[in-house]
Structure 1
Amino acid sequence: MPRYALKVEYHGAPFSGWQRQSEHPSVQGAIEAALGRLERRAHTIAAAGRTDAGVHATVQVAHCDMDKDWDPFRLSEALNFHLKPEPVAITACARVADDFHARFSATWRQYLFRLVMRRAPLTHDKGLAWQVPHPLDVAAMQAGADRLIGRHDFTTFRSSICQASSPLRTLDRLDVEAVTGLSGPEIRFHVKARAFLHNQVRSFVGTLERVGAGAWTPDDVTAALEARSRAACGPVCPPHGLYLAGVGYDPDPFDHN
């Protein structure tokens, strides 16, 4: 069965998350239903990461196995036709080796979190960014973020229902960037690692917001990390500002497509 890698973009608001659920809409379920319209059988796809309810993606990667030898462009076009009107798009498709796996072949994942600082309600960015009504000190937030770089026990910053076998992870990047966004002053968090724990990025951002507001210091971030206790974590920010923004492979299956 020919295997294809799919680069997927989606707006997470209507979905209960990536993972298929019997009673709730999911991104996986939407794509598998579209595949079923192309080849009438049950389809099961795998993804690089299982995003939670309300989380978006600019670059998610999944793979599927087909009966027919599809031209990758025609497969992506056919899927996009059958995905309408769901806010899901296949932005690239590539034929890959039979041993390619969207999750297990990935060498890194990158997330973006968007935070908008303004008092007036969001209109254009409603549901796409976390709104905070007060100004934040970006330099202090970066100083706090720097305390989290490297390999650590991230028990403090993982959900109590996280199913990972170990809290040890290596954080490669956590950059805090101030930009002028569509809705006003915006802070963007760029986070990169080989793999993440459940709610890890949202726990980072919620904690760093407290640093930016002056309620915490960078030393408090270090103390929270070293506590290895969920109770030491700052507030967990809402999901709608979070985007899966990149997945790395070697070689990249989409390089020549």
Structure 2
Amino acid sequence: MPNYKIIVEYDGTNFVGWQQQANGHSIQSALQESVFKLSGEKVVIYGAGRTDAGVHAYCQSASFSINKKIATDVIRDGLNQHLRPKLISIQKAELVDDDFHARFSAKKRWYEYKIINRRSPLTIDANRAWCVHKKLNIEKMKSESFSFLGKHDLNAFRSAHCQSKNSIKTIDSINIENEDEKIIFQVSAKSFLHSQVRIMVGTLVDIAKGNINKTILDIYKNKIDSDLLS
């Protein structure tokens, strides 16, 4: 049975997230419907990352298997045809080994979070960034972010809906760059907890605002629930 990997780009604004859910349209369900229209086969498409509602992707890896062999350019173009006008685009399709699984074969995942620090509301960057109106202490934000590097129990940095049995994760890299009002937060790891990146960024912003006087190390040490800090 041919096994395909696709590279997907999408605007997550109008979706409930990657994973198929009963309460709205998901990226996964849109892709599965498109595969059915192209091949006549019902499949389950697995993504390397199960992004949350409103999260976008530049290079999401996904995989699925079907009974018939279809040329990869036909997979790419056919899925794109059936996905229109949804803001989901297949950038590439390729045949992969039978044991390839987008989620379990992934070696590393990257996330980027964009903040605009200004008083005025967003227009061009609406749905692309978080507008924080209060002036942020960027240097404090950067110095605190380094405490995330390495292996830690990140139980305080996941949502109440997280189903992972193990909250210990290893952050491989973290970087915060700023230019004028723009702040870009980048982080990579083999895997993340549910809403982990959003909560990490939100906690750093609260520290940078001066809303809380706890450090990231305080949160680790005392196992403080970050939802209660602000």
TM-score for the superposition, normalised by structure 1: 0.85
- Please say if 1:197 is aligned against 2:196: no
Which residue of 2 is the match for residue 172 of structure 1?
172
Most deviating of 59-68 and 28-37: 59-68
Q: How does 1:210-221 map to 2 (within 5 A)?
A: 210-216=206-212, 220-221=215-216
* Cα separation, 2, equivalents of 1:167 and 1:21: 24
Give 1:22 shift.
3.7
Deviations 1:168-212 (A, max 9, x none): 1111112111035xxxx2101001111111111111101111222
Against the structure 1 CA distance between its residues 42 and 232, is the aligned structure 2 distance closer, same or farther, given a 3 Å change threshold? Answer: closer
Pairwise CA RMSD: 1.6
Which residue of 2 is the match for residue 82 of structure 1?
82
Give 1:51 shift.
1.1
- Please say if 1:51 is aligned against 2:51: yes
* Cα separation, 2, equivalents of 1:167 and 1:132: 29
* Cα separation, 2, equivalents of 1:231 and 1:179: 28
Q: Per chain length, whose mean CA-contact separation is higher, i.e. which structure has more relative contact order (CA < 8 Å, sep 6+)? A: 1
Which residue of 1 is the match for residue 91 of structure 2?
91
Which residue of 2 is the match for residue 206 of structure 1?
202
Q: How does 1:22-37 map to 2 (within 5 A)?
A: 22-37=22-37
Structure 2: gaps (5+ residues): none
Q: How does 1:66-77 map to 2 (within 5 A)?
A: 66-77=66-77
Which residue of 2 is the match for residue 224 of structure 1?
219
* Cα separation, 1, equivalents of 2:190 and 2:145: 18
- 2:218 counterpart letter in structure 1: A
Give 1:233 shift.
5.8
Structure 1: gaps (5+ residues): 236-257
Q: Secondary structure at the match of 1:5?
A: strand
Percent sequence identity over matched residues? 37
- Please say if 1:155 is aligned against 2:150: no
Which residue of 2 is the match for residue 141 of structure 1?
141
Which residue of 1 is the match for residue 104 of structure 2?
104
TM-score for the superposition, normalised by structure 2: 0.94
Give 1:126 shift.
0.9
Extract structure 1 runs of 4+ deviating beyond 6 A: none
